[in-house]
Structure 1
Amino acid sequence: MEDAASAELRVSAPLEQLPTPGLQGRDLAEELHHVEYPGLVRFLLLHGASWSEAQDAAQDAFTQMCRPGTSIRYPKAWLRTVAWRSWLRQQVCEEPCAEVPDAPTAHWQSPAHAAELGVEERRVIELLLLLPAKQRAVMAWTLDGFTAQESAEAMGITPEAARQNLSRARATLKAQLGLEGSGDRYVEEER
């Protein structure tokens, strides 16, 4: 795996194009924390992290950002890559597991977050968490605005594998939500 300083994607605006280009050091870190932290936590939740795991991994990314000598050009992508890798490291078992863990569930919701979500949104998130890990990861990257190429770079897989996992994830979600052929029904209802 690459080190955090070299793990930069180019989906977000470069640092100099941020609304506060003159900020540096701690001031910059505080501004980025204010702007990026909620989206970063949501990104990790979509990967299947628990609420506390997502917060820990997000905070770890901001801590790494403040290390001396760290150079960041695309902060949104850098923070997500570092936080995602931090969360993955949290998932590594020190001892072999006797049983395969269950698929993640929506236990990550804080009371405030649960109140913000509607019934349909909760259903979609529950279905996302049931996807296989790579499909869930590619969907999380995609939902956060990254391309299949950028997702592949961050995940260390080929762009073809990322596109295939994204296609499978979308097909599974469409089927589970009953959206297959919904365009055909709409055309017939209009006639």
Structure 2
Amino acid sequence: MNDALLRGLTPAVLGILVRRGADFAAAEDAVQDAMVEALRTDARPADPKGWLITVAWRRYLDAVRADTARRRREESPSTPPGPVPSTDDTLQLYFLCAHPSLPPASAVALTLRAVGGLTTRQIAAAYLVPETTMAQRISRAKKTIAGVRLDKAADVSTVLRVLYLVFNEGYSGDVDLATEAIRLTRQLAAVIDHPEVSGLLALMLLHHARRSARTAAGVGLVSLADQDRNRWDTALIAEGVTILQTALARDRLGQFQAQAAVAALHADAPSTAETDWVQIVEWYDELARLTDSPVVRLNRAVAVGEADGPHAGLAALAGLDPALPRYQAVAAHLHERTGDPVTAARLYAVAASQATNTAERDHLHRQAARLNALRGP
């Protein structure tokens, strides 16, 4: 069995063990052990899911028997299990791993391990933390949700926020988190019919379609306006647009559908100048109504600057907190558009000093240097 197959089977197998009576933490450990055994022995059974269930259940029984404090509990699961239930607990596992009692970082880690099937080492490498640190984080998360029943209803929006956090981490170590987030969102979409799940999947696909054009050798980060649109993945764009249109047709608008609509308008435009900025402003108005987010209003100011001119963009920016992430970069861009390179260069430098990652910092420094070079000594 290959790694992709194993990870796809993880939530179903884990759900079956929990339904048979195993507590979540012990069941999750047993499933991980079974996956390692499958890879170590290069197992190729005719029924991969049945094989994983059998091996994971044995691992669970071994752990129970080794724990003398659970000797009474051992008597119940020691009887041969009956047929595998047809119930698919995948959706409930998503809800459980994104439980509101968990901090976002813990929810992300637990989702990647329990639903995604990643090892603790892979998750630690992806988030650039020691494996022991990630193991402690996952262990604490399991203890937090130890008493939560698997059949409890939960808020889909919480799960979507966790998946979007995974997607935005991008790539690090040997795990491509953006691709992993797309896989998990596809898996979620297969077990729940919800327009916002479709909206998030469309948003991820449309953003991911531009990935190869976002950076360039010797240049680093490339802004949307300067990207080579021939490098965008047209197949992903077409899939994202199709999924989005189906979701919007249900007339149950949510923030991920609105964000995906903005991304679709960018994807559809041959260039920045030919983008339908008026419609993008309208979508940001919808987003602001749905979320009342200052970040949305910041992005709206950029769109207003394109649709109605930079002075209008600065006016839209005026009511926002200058401490907002990217505020100074947006202000710099709009001031440059008004023909004020001195102010723009200064603001780009301020934005660079506040940047949270190296690629963005370098990009902003280059913008400041470019304007300063145009001014001369």
Q: Give the TM bin, normalised by the shorter chain.
A: 0.3 to 0.5
After TM superposition, the score normalised by the length of structure 1 is 0.38
TM-score (norm 2): 0.20
Bigger radius of gyration? 2
